[in-house]
Structure 1
Amino acid sequence: MSDEGRAGDEVTEGERRAVGALEASGIGFVVTRHGPVRSLAEAAAARGVAPADVVKTIVVRRGDDDFLLVLVPGDRTISWPKLRALLGVSRLSMPDAATARDATGYERGTITPFGSLRAWPVVADARVPGRAVSIGAGAHGVAATVDGSQLVRALGATTADVTEPDGG
C-alpha cells in the first residue's frame, strides 16, 4: 500500500476500516486522498483516471435486512432487468441513505465493499475485471486503485453484465 496526494492527516473510522480490510485481502492497492468533489467526473479527474475507471459501490435491497453490493463502472448505471434476471428475483430496490449506512457502516459517497459492517454478496459488472479501477475507501475524498480482476477474486464477487450506459 502507498499513499498519493495526502490531503490531510485526519483519518476517519470508515477509512481505517476500509484500508484495514483491503490490507487483509492481500490485493495490491494505492490510496489516493483528493479531498471533496462534487461529481463522479471531478472524482475521476482528481484520481487521474477516466470516469469509466471509477467503480461505484451501490447498495441494493432484495428484502428486509437482505442487501447486496453492486460494482458499477462510473460511466454506467445498473440495468435493473439484467440484475433481477441474474438474481432470479422480480423485485429489487435502492435503500435510502440511512438504511444503506446501517447496512454497510458507510455514508453514501464513501461506500466500499471492503470493511462493510456485514459481508454482503457482491456482484461486479463484467467490465470491472481486466483493468485497474478506482474504488471508494471508506471516506469522502479517499479512494483505492486496485486491479479489477484481483478485486473480484478477493470479494468472491459474481461477475456478469448488469449495467447499461449512463444516460446522464
Structure 2
Amino acid sequence: MTLPEPSLGQPVEGVDRVRAAAAARGLEIEIRERPAAHSLPEAAAILGIRPADIVKTLVVKRSDDTYLFALIPGDRAISWPKLRAVVGVNKLQLPDPQRALAATGYERGTIVPLGSTHDWPVYADAQIAGRRIAMGAGAHGYSLFVDADALIQAYGATVDDISQPLE
C-alpha cells in the first residue's frame, strides 16, 4: 500500500480536525509535515527522536460495540490483561481497519484522540506521563507533538500501567 505524500502546506482534513480539537481544549500542539514512514522506528528516525517518544494511539473495541483509545509508547506493546483489568471488562479487541475508521474518522496509522469523530475514553500508559510526545496527526505524512500531561488532563485520561515490552 502506497501512502500519499504530504500536501506541501495545503489544508488536510484530518490535520485540520486535530488543530481545531486542540484549540477547543486549550492544548498547545505542534504539527510537523514529514516524509511518509513505513514503520514506527523509521518515523522516529525521520523526526530525530527515540521510538519511545512516539505514542501509538490504538482504538480498542469493547464487546458492547463501544470503543476506547489506548496510548502506548512506541517501544512497547499493549498489555491486554492489564488494559482489561483497568477498564473492568473481560474482552477487548482491535477492530478491523474499516471499523477503526468508522469509530474515529481516521485511518490506521493516523489515529489520535484529538478530532476523533467520537469522544471515546482515553487510557494512557503511565510511561508517557511527564514527557513531550509525538503521535499521529490525523493524516499520513504528519506528526503531532504535545505535552503528554496536558493531553491527559484535556481528555480526562485514565493513567495506568497498560503496556508491556515488545516481544
Cα deviation for residue 64 of structure 1 reads 3.6
2-structure distance, mates of 1:48, 1:29? 18
1:62 maps onto 2:62 in alignment: yes
Matches within 5 A, 1:135-146: 135-146=135-146
How many residues are aligned here?
162
Task: Name the residue aligned to 1:75.
Answer: 75
1:48 maps onto 2:32 in alignment: no
Cα deviation for residue 11 of structure 1 reads 2.8
Cα deviation for residue 9 of structure 1 reads 2.2
Shift in CA distance, 11/42, structure 1 to aligned 2, threshold 3 Å: farther
Task: Name the residue aligned to 2:3.
Answer: none
Cα deviation for residue 15 of structure 1 reads 1.1
Query: Residue 26 of structure 2 aligns to which amino acid in structure 1?
Result: G
Shift in CA distance, 46/56, structure 1 to aligned 2, threshold 3 Å: same
**What do you get for the CA RMSD once the two structures are aligned?**
1.3
2-structure distance, mates of 1:163, 1:31? 26
Report which stretch shifted further, 117-126 or 81-90. 81-90
Task: Name the residue aligned to 1:122.
Answer: 122
1-structure distance, mates of 2:65, 2:135? 24
2-structure distance, mates of 1:115, 1:65? 20
Report which stretch shifted further, 14-23 or 116-125. 14-23
Give the conservation status (yes or no) of the 8 Å contact 1:7–1:35: no
1-structure distance, mates of 2:7, 2:129? 29
Cα deviation for residue 155 of structure 1 reads 1.1
Query: Residue 114 of structure 1 aligns to which amino acid in structure 2?
Result: L
2-structure distance, mates of 1:155, 1:128? 14
Task: Name the residue aligned to 2:84.
Answer: 84
Q: Could you list the runs of 5+ residues in structure 2 that have no partner in the other structure?
A: 1-5
Give the conservation status (yes or no) of the 8 Å contact 1:135–1:145: yes
Question: Percent same amino acid among aligned pairs?
Answer: 49
Cα deviation for residue 7 of structure 1 reads 6.3
Cα deviation for residue 26 of structure 1 reads 1.2
2-structure distance, mates of 1:141, 1:72? 20
Secondary structure at 1:8's aligned position in 2? coil
1-structure distance, mates of 2:17, 2:63? 26
Task: Name the residue aligned to 2:10.
Answer: 10
Superposition misfits of 4+ residues, deviation over 3 angstroms: none
Cα deviation for residue 10 of structure 1 reads 2.9
1:60-99 Cα deviation digits (max 9, x unpaired): 0112430000000000111001011111111111100000
Task: Name the residue aligned to 1:37.
Answer: 37
Q: Could you list the runs of 5+ residues in structure 1 that have no partner in the other structure?
A: 1-5
